[in-house]
Chains A and B, each alone.
Chain A
């Protein structure tokens, strides 16, 4: 038994040394990107605690096993048996109860940190995120901006309300740490408070088909004053000539997902040469495309369905778009001869 005690004392020292080395190693081979959100702080401190525990328990088992291999290896030709030890109930209880206490404590810390990264903040700014194969769109309801770049003011708590138009996507910016899927038919929420200015990349983290690897969007975190300037620049775009404004609105609304600009077939009629064209409707009647027809088709798309197409166009553009914006889109269509 004395001999065993000496072994245990040596092993205990080695376990501690091993744990420190392992922890250094893990932190150097697992380089987290620079934390850039308030949420990242809660996540990272828990991350470091986990790394320390991984190092300690890894060292505990590995040092014991390696030490045993060196000390207890059978010498050449030794066919004898080892010590006849069946087990030790006290030890079994100890190494059941201590890990149990540790995981319960970890669960408690996890719950606390989860609260920190998901709780509602005062003065949240809402941004609506839409994911579709294979791109992103961001709408700022307060400012009335639609953008393909996610621009955020530093220090401002943000609530992202996220929807998918087709399959499951996932919102992930490594520097912000948090992640949330976008699920068709659901609105999911994610909270971010950016703490560092600069450019980041939003990447889809849920396999969503062919070009999943390239489903990216630029993210800009700006100082509040710069952000205000960006908002002003975006909103002043209503001063654009109507046809150009219409083209921009059509792009951000994703109109070209179903209506091509070059005459190629798609889910909806092409816009090329649409204005002034005579269309045959599903009921056999014909109509000449004019401004009134286009306006009606945007506001109440199922009123007149062109032959060969399905009534699948969303019916809520009347709520999404202002009168001026609809006029702008019509002006844009007029230019597509």
Chain B
């Protein structure tokens, strides 16, 4: 089998060729219009767009739809490709949600590690004040890349959990729209490549938030960043449609909404946000792209700085921030709601006790999703927006604490009086609770305008949101990886290595997040390549040393986990179908899950988390041949 017959490789080649074709097309059109033929910026924009689309065609994401357009019917393909080794299906367009779930997860882990590497680079630079090895330009590029690549990795991790688990938890064979599901994943590959390759064309130096006028004036790298985010955003939207339809229409007999596994509730709330908010980050970046490429002044008021080109003005930089945060605040709930739902999913299994206040936990996810739409301007308390808006946004922001509190209290209620077991997934759940707790509790102080003023754009904010991201996504995601690993591979991971990973990462993360808050209060601003060593009575450098060492410890822990997973897939002991004694449908079928998951239809006959109720069961599967 030749490497070049692998669809993912075909896609990569097509992306390069498509980019060149797009650049050529732009040049020809410009020549025909009588303009100077070569202009780098429009050539790159059209090239990057065509390159991304070419990837999707070449990888085969549109194959079936193209056949349908000419009237040919195509049956849904099942199983590994007949003419190639089985592993190649992970590098091809495959319609099985379990394959897509793993594609999402692995590509997500890759991006998280890439984003983490950017962080390690600039963390090393920050070990000491003064510039060491990075240089100002590269530093400013790396902070933005760290941010957006991490966000992409988190979205993919969320997609991985949702795609793999939701159909299994619903007892369904697959998602509602398997072809759309595959397209949704593949959008992420050219998208992520565009973002990473932006470094080759000058990069972009405004941080992942890309505020104009700075982003409207910088190098061409911005355009690839915008287009990459656009592709990943499309993935979010089609993925969300698919999950919502699947959840609403494919539940088995007997599974009312309030009998769904709590993870499905988390995904449901997250998908509602993804479906309705993602357009706004696409729109805001598209407007900057158009402003740069076609000279439409949406955001730049048209003031010329020294040596800068004069843009035809009339725009308002604050408008961008409203559009941008209308997605980008709810986005953090996209990241954490599935993670918090993993906590709710795993606690009952390891406490051998029902989830305390199931309905309250389920509805608190919806409440967070809803209130999350009304708080975006707390990112703009000092932005110069209408000052009168600060008060209503302060109250709305503080309100988020209420449904979040319900979750914490319900988790405590679940643990209380249980029979607690502590394998690695449970440790990560407890780590998640502790970390998300400090992340959540440092929210109101930032949401209150007067205390926001000194902390805004300081490292205190950096500490706060890293705690929410780690507590709300990273720790629960790792818990989920360890928890469902035996279901996916059929083998058990190495428990000792898992525990080492936990005991390395948790104290390290705590040191990192508290260290960030400490230097922030001392006056350390976000996104600066160099800092004044006199801050905090000269203690600031010690703070940065702690943060950097902790960052490397976390990275080492992640590598240990990857090693554990690769190694255990071969030598791990056979797990059996239900090593955790869970009641959830996916644990009632063999491990690894067969191609068609459930051999017989699933019927829900009880509550999902009735641990401790003798003789009860959640799902029943008709015996083969039975109807």
Contacts and interface: CB of A to CB of B under 8 A. Distances in A.
Interface of A: 4, 29-33, 42-43, 46-47, 50-51, 53-54, 57-58, 61-62, 64-65, 68-69, 72-74, 78-88, 91-92, 95-96, 99-100, 103-104, 106-107, 109-111, 113-114, 116-118, 132-133, 164-168, 170, 172, 174, 177-186, 188, 201, 203-214, 254, 257-258, 266-267, 310, 312
Nearest to B404: A99
The 10 closest A-B pairs by CB, nearest first: A185-B301, A166-B305, A257-B306, A82-B353, A82-B418, A174-B523, A84-B612, A87-B357, A81-B612, A213-B528
Given A99-B402, A210-B137, A88 B357 contact: yes
B517 A132 contact: no
A72 B211 contact: no
Contacts of B411: 65
B354 A205 contact: no
A203 B525 contact: yes
Contacts of B384: 180-183, 186, 188
Interface stretch (B23-31, B91-99, B310-318): B310-318
A33 B313 CA distance: 40
Given A31-B521, A83-B353, A68 B412 contact: yes
B441 A205 contact: no
17 contacts: A62-B434, A82-B612, A83-B353, A85-B353, A92-B409, A96-B402, A110-B450, A110-B451, A166-B305, A166-B308, A174-B523, A184-B213, A184-B317, A185-B301, A188-B384, A206-B457, A209-B140
Nearest to B412: A64
Interface in B508-547: 514, 517-518, 521-523, 525-532, 535-537, 539
A81 B213 contact: no
A197 B441 CA distance: 35
Nearest to B539: A31
Contacts of A168: 211, 213-214, 317
B398 A103 contact: yes
A95 B518 CA distance: 30
Contacts of B449: 110-111, 113-114
Given A42-B450, A78-B419, A203-B525, A185 B317 contact: yes
Contacts of B382: 170, 179-181
A209 B205 contact: yes
Contacts of A87: 354, 356-360, 410, 413
B405 interface: yes
B420 A73 contact: yes
A234 to B, nearest CB: 25
Given A86-B358, A92-B357, A207-B140, A213 B214 contact: no
A33 B514 CA distance: 17
A205 B383 CA distance: 11
A188 B386 CA distance: 10
A213 B457 contact: no
Contacts of A62: 434, 437
Contacts of A72: 351, 415-420
B417 A85 contact: yes
B399 interface: yes
A213 B529 contact: yes
B390 A61 contact: no
Nearest to B215: A167
Contacts of A88: 356-357, 413
B467 to A, nearest CB: 12
B214 A208 contact: yes
Interface in B588-627: 610-613
A32 B521 contact: yes
B77 interface: no
B207 A207 contact: yes
Of the listed residues A33, A58, A201, A206, the one surrounded by the most CB atoms of chain B closer than 10 A to its CB is: A206
B456 A29 contact: no
Contacts of B206: 207, 209
Interface in B392-414: 394-395, 398-399, 401-402, 405-406, 408-413
A201 B454 contact: no
Contacts of A92: 357, 360, 406, 409-410
Of the listed residues A74, A181, A254, the one surrounded by the most CB atoms of chain B closer than 10 A to its CB is: A181
A54 B401 CA distance: 12
Interface string B430-459: 100110011001101100111101101110
A65 B456 CA distance: 32
Contact of A58 (B136, B406, B441, B457): B441
Contacts of A85: 353-354, 356, 413, 417
Nearest to A177: B454
A206 B306 CA distance: 19
Given A179-B456, A214-B530, 18 more contacts: A30-B521, A43-B450, A46-B450, A47-B451, A50-B444, A69-B415, A72-B415, A80-B352, A84-B610, A87-B359, A96-B402, A103-B399, A107-B394, A165-B303, A167-B211, A167-B217, A205-B457, A213-B531
B391 interface: yes
B422 interface: yes
Contact of B453 (A43, A78, A185, A254): A43
Contacts of A31: 518, 521-522, 536-537, 539
B515 to A, nearest CB: 9
Interface string B371-397: 000000000001110010011001100
A174 B313 CA distance: 34
Contacts of A208: 214
Given A87-B360, A177-B454, A310 B518 contact: no
B559 interface: no
B318 to A, nearest CB: 6
A113 B450 contact: yes
Interface string B496-517: 0000000000000000001001
B383 A183 contact: yes
Given A47-B445, A86-B354, A312 B310 contact: yes
Contacts of A117: 450, 453
Contacts of A32: 454, 521
Nearest to B416: A68
A336 B44 CA distance: 44
